[in-house]
Structure 1
Amino acid sequence: MLIDTYGRIATDLRVSLTDRCNLRCTYCMPEEGLQWLPKPELLTDDEIVRMVSIAVTELGVTEVRFTGGEPLLRPGLVGIVERCAALEPRPRLSLTTNGIGLARTAEALRAAGLDRVNVSLDTLNPEVFRTLTRRDRHHDVIAGLTAAHDAGLTPVKVNTVLLRGVNDGEAADLLDWALRHAYELRFIEQMPLDAQHGWQRENMVTAAEIIERLAARFALTPEPSAVRGSAPAERWLVDGGPARVGVIASVTRPFCRACDRTRLTADGQVRDCLFAREETDLRAVLRSGAPDREIADCWRTAMRGKKPGSGLDDPSFLQPQRPMSAIGG
């Protein structure tokens, strides 16, 4: 197992397939984009499948989430999903995407073995979307959500980041829209993972504010903590249920004690925390010709160094050098 010195066991693997993205969200990267990782540094399709296989068969991982950048930009995505779905024991497979391109790939991904998707959408207003992402692709995201639902990639979860003075007035409208389309909405506090390092705590829309705005229109009943388990989202039943809404309060109410995640970047670095400033190079071990057991041992060693928390509540906190697009969600 991947167990740290605080007794937490990592059973959820986040695999970044690329650091590239076709949006330029203001809270993530500058308008001109970033310097992408050179192709030779990226794990190949075979290497990704091998790493996932080691995690599943040697280390007890039961859930695999493919992320980016934007994972739909990875040419071999469908094949990677299909090969990972054939592993024994079979992990649960999901994908976090901005939804652009999902309309044309949802059916193929479902047929390959993908179980569900998380789609990022911060606004119902195409003009606000253009301001936030610097791209005119709102209609593509909506089409992607519809295609995912129709393909059976359910529950379709929608991830939303609220920015003060930009889209924070849409919270209740977004929830009403999600309920009508049978999507599960999850608000995420803006995190200090932008490439520009421009995040400021006082500008962040907090979980408490989000709940207050939702409660002005909907009756919210907290889901018991026992039901939440290691899930990052605190969830509420909406108007008595069964529909739910979640809030991921990574900054104001960290969930580090129950963290069950390990992360693999597109260039083969293991990260034991989203906010870690250290990484372990498994790509070098893999490409040296090491057997699976040796790679698994290196992964175990990396996870034993995991800290008790993210450090976000420490005045001395420093952002990771990598932005979110290069880490994977």
Structure 2
Amino acid sequence: MSAAAASSHPAGTLVDKYGRRISYVRLSITDRCDFRCTYCMAEEMTFLPRDEVMSLEECLRVATVFVGLGVNKLRITGGEPLVRKDAMWLIERLGTLPGLDNLVLTTNGSQLDRFATPLRAAGVKRLNVSLDTLRTDRFKAITRIGDIKKVFSGIEAVRAAGFKRTKLNTVMMRGTNDDEFVDLVRYAVDNELDISFIEEMPLGEIHGRSNTYISSEETRDKLAEYFELIPSTESSGGPARYWRIPGSESRIGFISPHSHNFCDTCNRVRVTAKGELYPCLGQNDAANLMQVLRADNSEEGLRQAIVDSMGIKPLGHDFTQQMDSPQVVRFMSMTGG
């Protein structure tokens, strides 16, 4: 990293070798989930033994060190994070970390009717809810075991708890849910939600994705037949590019890791439930934080391991060549959604 790149960021902040400041961490607290979404995991999953998963205290240590390095946005992920026993213990403590401006959580929505109010009280600023269909039968087919009624009631609980800018995340799959994109936008608008459409990513040993892949442009063109879409310069701090519909507060986002990857401005890293720090979603290189956590009680050792991991963060990824032959064989549920 050049001296000029380093000097363009505040001292003591986390910067990779290309001069990109890392301000956003996605922290998975479990690989387990109460759904089995077809694009995220195998039908018969083998989950990690408990002793190979970071304890909640270790998760807190990792998050605290990242915030000390200037990270101001932390997203709690899974699996489904709210199936982790005592997850609220961790979330409540994360909500009090000085310097953490944006504590957010990604969920499948199944537990929100129970946890919406406690999450709000703990300081969670926003929620992302994965929702790929509005149809009961199709939801069951995609998730294999999920109940869409629980998700709808969870979204109602979120609104009642006072959350704003709750966002739906919809993975675009040709032949599976591409006939519902207009209805999903209407549902988002009617319920004062944002929505992001996500290009399917080749993670895990799932083949044939080139047949189901849909680009952001194709979906945007389809939506433009029904809605006036106005480009927006707004950002939620992540990779989504947003459009507005006049007369609505809802934002329509597109996350395009294939057609318009966002590597040049990448500001994030992922930490898995087993303590692997992945500087890039599309690469296999990782730093083992678990080993450091359990061998060294000093925060300095953990801090140095995180700083050193910036040396393996690549300039970018290329998912296009991996659609039917994925190089990243870990499932999305293993990395953190």
Same fold, TM-score > 0.5, yes or no: yes
Correspondence for 1:176? 186
Displacement after TM superposition at 1:161 (Å): 1.1
Which of 201, 226, 229 in structure 2 is aligned with 1:217? 226
Correspondence for 1:65? 75
Alpha carbons of structure 1 residues 85 and 136: separation in structure 2 relative to 1, 3 Å: closer
Alpha carbons of structure 1 residues 109 and 229: separation in structure 2 relative to 1, 3 Å: closer
CA distance in 2, matches of 1:153, 1:15: 21
Correspondence for 1:101? 111
SS at match of 1:169: coil
Alpha carbons of structure 1 residues 62 and 24: separation in structure 2 relative to 1, 3 Å: same
Correspondence for 1:40? 51
Displacement after TM superposition at 1:321 (Å): 2.7
Amino acid at match of 2:35: L
Correspondence for 2:310? 303
Amino acid at match of 1:53: T
Q: Does 1:281 align with 2:293?
A: no
Displacement after TM superposition at 1:199 (Å): 4.6
Q: Does 1:27 align with 2:28?
A: no
Residue pair 1:20, 1:68 contacting (<8 A) in 2 also: yes
Which of 275, 295, 301 in structure 2 is aligned with 1:294? 301
Q: Does 1:5 align with 2:17?
A: yes
CA distance in 1, matches of 2:146, 2:79: 18
Residue pair 2:195, 2:250 contacting (<8 A) in 1 also: no
Alpha carbons of structure 1 residues 279 and 190: separation in structure 2 relative to 1, 3 Å: same
Which of 207, 212, 215 in structure 2 is aligned with 1:206? 215
Displacement after TM superposition at 1:54 (Å): 0.6
Residue pair 2:29, 2:84 contacting (<8 A) in 1 also: yes
Q: Does 1:196 align with 2:243?
A: no
CA distance in 1, matches of 2:79, 2:121: 23
Correspondence for 1:77? 87
Which of 47, 50, 56 in structure 1 is aligned with 2:67? 56
Which of 294, 318, 335 in structure 2 is aligned with 1:327? 335
Deviations 1:222-279 (A, max 9, x none): 113xx44853111111136543200111111100111100111101111101112111
Alpha carbons of structure 1 residues 19 and 174: separation in structure 2 relative to 1, 3 Å: same
Correspondence for 1:145? 155
TM-score of the pair, normalised by structure 2? 0.92
Residue pair 1:230, 1:259 contacting (<8 A) in 2 also: no
Matches within 5 A, 1:222-241: 222-224=231-233, 227-228=234-235, 231-239=238-246, 241=248
CA distance in 2, matches of 1:284, 1:173: 47
Could you tell me the percent identity over the aligned residues?
A: 38
Amino acid at match of 2:62: M
Deviations 1:96-118 (A, max 9, x none): 00000110111111112211110
Aligned residue-pair number: 324
Correspondence for 1:165? 175
Displacement after TM superposition at 1:35 (Å): 0.8
Amino acid at match of 1:189: E
Stretches of structure 1 that go unaligned for 5 or more consecutive residues are: none
CA distance in 1, matches of 2:221, 2:209: 21
SS at match of 2:186: helix
Residue pair 1:126, 1:136 contacting (<8 A) in 2 also: no
Residue pair 2:71, 2:100 contacting (<8 A) in 1 also: no
Residue pair 1:285, 1:295 contacting (<8 A) in 2 also: yes
CA distance in 2, matches of 1:103, 1:215: 34
CA distance in 2, matches of 1:306, 1:313: 19
CA RMSD of aligned residues (A): 1.7
SS at match of 1:168: coil
CA distance in 1, matches of 2:301, 2:218: 47
SS at match of 1:262: strand
TM-score of the pair, normalised by structure 1? 0.94
CA distance in 1, matches of 2:157, 2:200: 27
